[in-house]
Amino acid sequence: MSNPHPPIPSTSELPPAGQRRATADRSAGRGRRLIQLGRVGCAVLAVAAVIVFVVGPSAAFADPGVLLAAPPTPVSDLGQVVDNIRTWLFTILVGVATLFATLGAVRLLAANGDPVEVEKGKSALKSAALGYGLAILAPLLVTIVGGWLVAK
């Protein structure tokens, strides 16, 4: 029967004390980072709970005959469809880009000098910049395509 445990390394095989300490410091840094992210997550959940408890009862006891949003109007021409697509595309792209910018910023703040996390944060910020660029160009592209479709 073979031994499932690896052999205990001799003192000559262990890394120098300075390298062991650096590894322990990095591990402690990760623990502090997780605690900070946990605190931020708790704060976000607390704010969300307050919003739900403040807005929830007013929506629950609202008059059911009153609509909160106007019903959609029927589309009469293709130009209006192109305008709606332009609005939706811009809104979605800006929302996703903002999400990436927020995640990238949080990763950079929580990186604590870890080069891998710093690169992940920079990559997320680059993706956010690309998303904002596409959001700026989206109305132009939809207008060009809409010009091909809509007869003037």
- Name, in order, each residue with C-beta under 8 angstroms of 92's C-beta and a sequence gap of 6 or more: none
* pLDDT attached to residue 127: 93
SS3 content of the chain, % helix, strand, coil (to 5): 75, 0, 25
> pLDDT digit string (tens) for 72-82?
677 777 777 77
Q: What pLDDT was estimated at residue 124?
A: 92
> Directed axis angle between helix 78-110 and helix 17-60, to 10°?
140
Residue numbers in the chain where pLDDT is lower than 50: 24
> In angstroms, how far is CA 78 from the centroid of its own chain?
34
pTM score of the predicted model: 0.50
Q: Distance between terminal CA atoms of the chain?
A: 85
Please, is 104 exposed, middle or buried when counting C-beta atoms within 10 Å of its C-beta (0-12, 13-18, 19+)? buried
What pLDDT was estimated at residue 6?
64
Cβ 131 vs Cβ 104: under 8 Å: no
Residue with tokens 């739900």: 52
